[in-house]
Structure 1
Amino acid sequence: MPLLIIIPHNYNPSSSSPRSTVLAKYISRNTINTLRVLSFRFYAKNTNKVVSIIRAMSTILHLNGIDNGSDNKNAGDCDRLLSPAAMAQQIPLSLKAEKTVRAAREACANVISGIDDRLIVVVGPCSIHDPEQALVYARKLKACLSLFPDLVILMRSYFEKPRTTVGWKGLINDPELNGTFQIQNGLFTARKLLKDLTDLGLPLAIELLDTFSPQYLSDFISWGAIGARTTESQPHREIASKNLHSVGFKNGTDGSISVAIDAMKSASSPHSFIGMNRDGVASIVRTEGNPSVHVVLRGGAKGPNYSEAHVAESIKSIYKQLPDKHPSIMIDCSHGNSEKDHRNQPKVVHSICEQLKAGNPFISGVMIESNINEGRQDLPSKGPVGLKYGVSITDACINFETTLTVLEKLQEAVVQRRKLVEGLSEDTKFLVASNLLSVHFE
């Protein structure tokens, strides 16, 4: 229903007078987003009285379910976000960062397609809650990259966290860690950090948790994951088909790989769907399909799935359904594969190394949750005050010293795999791999 808003006759939104400023702020923050405004013109001398009237009307209408121009009584205020293009203009991609991103994207695509025999390693915090600590971790990691020439190392830069029920949803959603949900500030903070990290020359990986925030960050990203809870989601498959970087689909929470293979099929195909363009406008989006997609084994309700037998079965399933695709497998050393105990991650890495040394050419990457210090901690109800330095507030991580140890083992294993198959023809390599894995392709 139409609503008559009353304001002083001398109200001027552009005025700097105290009365006009107070009322302009109140209307812009609390009324225009929640009420249907028909007209306003009324003689009044006391701005406070007018604000009180508007507040009362706003409360009454909210209780009656009149919000945001709809009859949805559960909807609150809607605040506009800056567009992806406008934010990119304020925090641009530098030339050095662009070179870092492009080189890592190409390397990842070549590894996933089987052209490059190196190993992708996505390593870093489960989630970033402190940009300064993330930069400390990044500098430590960057200083070590030259020690591992046969690993394509990307820093895990996750700003959004899927929750089984409720909880802190990540730095974008709640950058202050106090329930104030300053999402626009969160996007700025995330983009600024990605710029700082790529300016160091460090390539980055991210999780595509929703379909909007990647629009603000994707130009900094070289590899992306779609998690177990969203692998079946059509919008996420459509977004993946649009990405210029490689995308890994995790198996379902039940451990099933079929949903990830279906996601590969979908994301590698063209799509047309409703989305958002760089100017933040609802648009019809058309994609050509992303050829660089693969499966990520992360374990599930039935237990880990990183063993040689699990990997072999996964390769067989991919090959049968997508015979023209290199059956590339990445293994997540955390989550279900670590049985939610970060101390088991080195054990998973050991198994992967043994498979690499045996000549398995289809293991293309690993994911490792790592931080400055090991373990995890809960976020206090009062916010970040009192948090331990360099310790995750989501999933538990191994510390940086342990991280270096597992990277050394992976580097050694990749070198041994290369020596094993050196000089063999492509057909012979495939036969050797098939025999090693006891996979019989029909």
Structure 2
Amino acid sequence: MTQLTDLNVVANNPLPSPAFLQSEIAATAEQTELIDRSRREISDILFRKDDRFLLVVGPCSIHDPEACEEYAEKLAALSQEVRDKILIVMRVYFEKPRTTVGWKGLIMDPDLDGSDDIIKGLMEARNFLRKVLSLGLPTATELLDPITPQFIADLISWSAIGARTSESQTHRQMASGLSMPLGFKNATSGSLKAATNAIKAASQSQTFLGVSAQGIASAVTTRGNPHCHLILRGGENGPNYDKASISRSCEVLKESGLIETVMVDASHANCGKKHEQMPAVFENIIAQRVAGNQAITGAMLESHLVAGNQPFPQPLEQLSRGQSITDECIDWATTERLVREAAAAL
């Protein structure tokens, strides 16, 4: 009989169930309490019930867990120093969207060699998240693959849907069932419509195809996620962190029947993907908030131990420790200065 399916499939390897991985690499009682508390605090800040500022900061992606653990230790200490004014949440990004091809993140390729050992990647992701949580730091990630949340979402305090996927029905449905606050980024064109439509869709009950905790294909029905919000990250026509752009964003949110709350990403198109420009963008965001714009409730920074980024792929032994292999990041000294100055200004 002529074969009609799997003509282009080379392998189809079953994964352990989400419930199994969650039990094997489980959160402690203290970590569970931190996730629960931080989710509530993040939501209160985003929806203007808490007058602190939310800062999601950390490496563009986690490719060297050891170096990123050192970063987390530094960030945890800084977080305690500014906690009365700023709630710091660490970027712990394991999945990377690619325009064409490239390294897709620690979950997909933990050995950075194209071997794509996803089971190992999921285990490393959970172990790293536990290390960050054990330092008292809430965690943030971008959710790209709709199956991934079943394996790691119990260890995540805040999540994002990226500019490329805010228009995706699959991701809006997924967001409707997530248990944490979640930001939708404006489209790569700069348009806000996809993000505002996504917020409205994700707040509603949805039924879609998914995976159960036991790893079985299932029909998932959600009640909707009321904690979704807008992230401005710039677009093809330039940045959108300036006063006029934020004012327009608030108008669009109001017209859409949504709360006027905006998180601003100081990286990506808002800084032209140049780390040297990121500090000035962040300082501008903070200045607007200090000047009285309470709609600006949070910001994002891409930050690592070492500034810039480095080409990849290249031999692993030649990689510089603590420097991004994806987008450019500001270094730790710059991060520390910006956060302290922001806390003082706020």
The TM tier, using the shorter chain, reads: over 0.9
In structure 1, the partner of 2:294 is 361
2:23 to 66, 69, 89: 89
CA distance in 2, matches of 1:390, 1:225: 24
TM-score by length of 2: 0.98
CA distance in 1, matches of 2:204, 2:243: 30
Amino acid at match of 1:104: S
> What 5-or-longer segments of structure 2 have no aligned partner?
none
In structure 2, the partner of 1:376 is 309
In structure 2, the partner of 1:73 is 7
Quote how far apart the aligned CAs of 1:113 are.
1.4
CA distance in 2, matches of 1:189, 1:146: 26
2:318 to 386, 408, 411: 386
In structure 1, the partner of 2:125 is 190
SS of 1:385's equivalent in the other structure is helix
In structure 2, the partner of 1:396 is 328
1:205 matched to 2:150? The reply is no
Quote how far apart the aligned CAs of 1:185 are.
0.4
**Residues 127 and 159 in structure 1, CA contact (< 8 A), matched pair in contact too:** yes
In structure 1, the partner of 2:338 is 406
In structure 2, the partner of 1:55 is none
**Residues 211 and 235 in structure 1, CA contact (< 8 A), matched pair in contact too:** yes
Amino acid at match of 2:275: H
SS of 2:273's equivalent in the other structure is coil
**Residues 112 and 326 in structure 1, CA contact (< 8 A), matched pair in contact too:** no
**Residues 273 and 286 in structure 1, CA contact (< 8 A), matched pair in contact too:** yes
Cα offsets for 1:51-75 (capped at 9, x unmatched): xxxxxxxxxxxxx8x4xxx533211
In structure 2, the partner of 1:292 is 227
1:163 matched to 2:98? The reply is yes
CA distance in 1, matches of 2:14, 2:123: 14
CA distance in 2, matches of 1:366, 1:203: 15
1:271 to 194, 200, 206: 206
In structure 2, the partner of 1:346 is 279
In structure 1, the partner of 2:80 is 146
1:240 to 158, 175, 180: 175
**Residues 295 and 329 in structure 1, CA contact (< 8 A), matched pair in contact too:** yes
SS of 1:249's equivalent in the other structure is strand
Of 238-247 and 71-80, more deviation after overlay is shown by 71-80
SS of 1:172's equivalent in the other structure is coil
Question: Aligned runs of 1:305-316 on 2, under 5 Å?
Answer: 305-316=240-251
CA distance in 2, matches of 1:286, 1:142: 37
SS of 1:152's equivalent in the other structure is strand
Quote how far apart the aligned CAs of 1:381 are.
4.0
Cα offsets for 1:280-316 (capped at 9, x unmatched): 1111111111111110000000000000000000001
SS of 2:230's equivalent in the other structure is strand
1:226 matched to 2:158? The reply is no
Quote how far apart the aligned CAs of 1:413 are.
3.3
Larger Rg: 1
**Residues 353 and 409 in structure 1, CA contact (< 8 A), matched pair in contact too:** no
Quote how far apart the aligned CAs of 1:380 are.
3.4
In structure 2, the partner of 1:42 is none
CA distance in 2, matches of 1:344, 1:329: 21
Cα offsets for 1:407-430 (capped at 9, x unmatched): 12321333xxxxxxxxxxxxxxxx
**Residues 101 and 222 in structure 1, CA contact (< 8 A), matched pair in contact too:** yes
1:328 matched to 2:264? The reply is no
Question: Aligned runs of 1:23-34 on 2, under 5 Å?
Answer: none
Quote how far apart the aligned CAs of 1:134 are.
1.2
In structure 1, the partner of 2:57 is 123
CA distance in 2, matches of 1:321, 1:175: 41
1:109 matched to 2:43? The reply is yes
**Residues 174 and 183 in structure 1, CA contact (< 8 A), matched pair in contact too:** yes
| RMSD (Å) for aligned C-alpha atoms | 1.1
Return the structure number with greater relative CO, CA threshold 8 A, min gap 6.
2
Return closer, same or farther for 1:381/1:404 CA change in 2, 3 Å cut-off: closer
Return closer, same or farther for 1:413/1:257 CA change in 2, 3 Å cut-off: farther
Quote how far apart the aligned CAs of 1:357 are.
1.5
Quote how far apart the aligned CAs of 1:353 are.
1.7
TM-score by length of 1: 0.77
In structure 2, the partner of 1:419 is none
Amino acid at match of 2:236: A
User: Identity, % of aligned pairs?
Assistant: 43
CA distance in 1, matches of 2:325, 2:336: 22
